[in-house]
Amino acid sequence: MNTRKALISLAATATLLSAAACAAPEQESDTTTESGVDAAAATSAEDFGGMEELIAAAQEEGELNVIALPPDWANYGEIIETFSEKYDIEVNSDQPDAASQDEINAANDLAGTDRAPDVFDLGQSVALANTDMFAPYQVETWDDIPDEFKDPEGAWVNDYGGYMAIGYDSSVVPEVTSVADLLKPEFKGKVALNGDPTQAGAAFSGVMMAAIANGGSADDIAPGVDFFRELKAAGNFLTVDPDSTTIEQGTTPVVIDWDYLGAAAAANVDTWETVVPEEAVVAGYYFQAINADAPHPAAARLWQEFLYSDEGQNLWLKGGARPVRGDAMAEAGTIDEELWGALPEVSGEPVIPTDEQTVTAGEYLAENWSKAIR
């Protein structure tokens, strides 16, 4: 498990800003391929003349810049390696532990350089606040993706999802059956949230889960903020961003995060358990998008094609995440049936916040989160 959406340290931030300040000045780059296609303007593989031509254009660029993709988050390590070997393209993976907002910051700070991120993998609230930075593109499997999981023009597409859960080391704390259990004395100094909910998608959904468990709703995240205020006052809340190291060392024996990351933690900690609280089932997808100013626009588009292919979707599934094309692939017989059938069952009515509810909740968090946990 890795924090994936945790805040980068101040030192890392300073390093990034320093590098941006020393970077080459912004300049207009020629994104025309050898075959005369403007890769930065392409909205489908057809604009290149087909997949073979897209592959050739991406290999001509030779590189792809990704950001905030830790190897043990939804199997991204294998995904990156497979893509790189399949197409002979070097993948530069920067700031694997960065938060969604850090991705946007890096794109702005490094704009006009060949080090800017080509693609984004963002939490909902950050994605919806920055759609003007995305380049529309529709992959070949576009029709398999339900309408509610994509922008009509292809500016963004949901990629993989899961359920917000509570992971815990059963050798350290009692069994967890509900969100309310975390307020018990046995959990003093033991409960961590994956990131800052004003910047990180996992943390945002963790507060939403707490809100619903305490009488709130997707329209009212305030009870979730109140819960964490109470958790902090009780001495149970850890202001530590959890990752595989903190879990294995026992520093963060209880972690609020996505269920597929709980599965990753269990691979290294035999006593790690993961529960999706029945009274607060919160589902969510991450948002995939292409940077409109991508320095490698053809490679960025080929990356999207790979991620939404049967191969890419099954690789996310291998990491315990639920790929957005999963139902269509199951119907077509192209899903890995063993992995698909092994996904944990979830009881309760799932809540998936709408775009509007996410924006409203994000505004409330921006105004009230820091005051609640300071």
Confidence at residue 11, expressed as pLDDT on a 0 to 100 scale: 27
| pLDDT beyond 90 at 260 | no
Is the pLDDT at 97 greater than 70, yes or no?
yes
Q: Is the pLDDT of residue 262 over 90?
A: no
Give the pLDDT of residue 265. 84
pLDDT tens per residue across span 326-337: 999 999 999 999
Q: Does residue 210 or residue 263 have the better pLDDT?
A: 210
CA atoms within 13 A on the CB side of 207: 31
Q: How confident is the model at residue 243 (pLDDT cuts 50, 70, 90)?
A: confident
pLDDT of residue 24: 33
CA–CA dist 158, 146 (Å, integer): 10
Q: Output the pLDDT for position 3.
A: 34
Mean pLDDT of the chain: 90
pLDDT tens-digit series, residues 193-242: 999 999 888 999 999 999 999 999 999 999 999 999 999 999 999 999 99
Domain ranges of the chain: 10-160+285-342, 162-283+347-373
Pairwise pLDDT comparison (23 vs 259), residue with the higher score: 259
The mean pLDDT value for 1-10 works out to 30
Residue 13 reports pLDDT greater than 80: no
High-pLDDT (> 70) share of the chain, %:
92
Containing 134, the helix (H) or strand (E) segment is: strand 134-135
Residue 153 has pLDDT above 50, yes or no: yes
* Predicted confidence (pLDDT) per residue in 138-152, tens digit: 999 999 999 999 999
pLDDT of 45 higher than 90: yes
* Fold (CATH) for 10-160+285-342: D-Maltodextrin-Binding Protein; domain 2 (3.40.190)
pLDDT band at 342 (very low <50, low <70, confident <90, very high): confident
In this structure, which long-range contacts are made by residues 355-358, counting pairs with CB atoms below 8 Å and at least 24 apart in sequence?
355/124, 355/128, 357/218, 357/219, 358/124, 358/125, 358/128, 358/204
Three-state secondary structure readout of 200-216: CHHHHHHHHHHHHHCCC
Structure confidence by residue, pLDDT tens digits, 274-328 = 999 999 999 999 999 999 999 999 999 999 999 999 999 999 999 989 999 999 9
Task: Please give the model's pTM, rounded to 2 decimal places.
Answer: 0.79
pLDDT digits (tens, 9 = 90+) for 123-132: 988 999 999 9
pLDDT for 171 equals 97
Q: Which CATH number fits domain 162-283+347-373: 3.30.420.10, 1.25.10.10, 3.40.190.10, 3.90.580.10?
A: 3.40.190.10
CA distances from 286 to 43, 125, 197, 302 (A): 21, 10, 14, 19
pLDDT at 294: 98
Q: Is the pLDDT of residue 23 over 60?
A: no
- The backbone region for 267, taken as left when phi is positive above 0, alpha when psi lies in -120 to 50, beta otherwise, is alpha
Q: Do domains 10-160+285-342 and 162-283+347-373 have the same CATH topology?
A: yes
Q: Is residue 154 predicted with pLDDT exceeding 90?
A: yes
Name the 3-class secondary structure at 119.
strand
* pLDDT on residue 29: 61
- Residues above pLDDT 90, as percent of the chain: 79
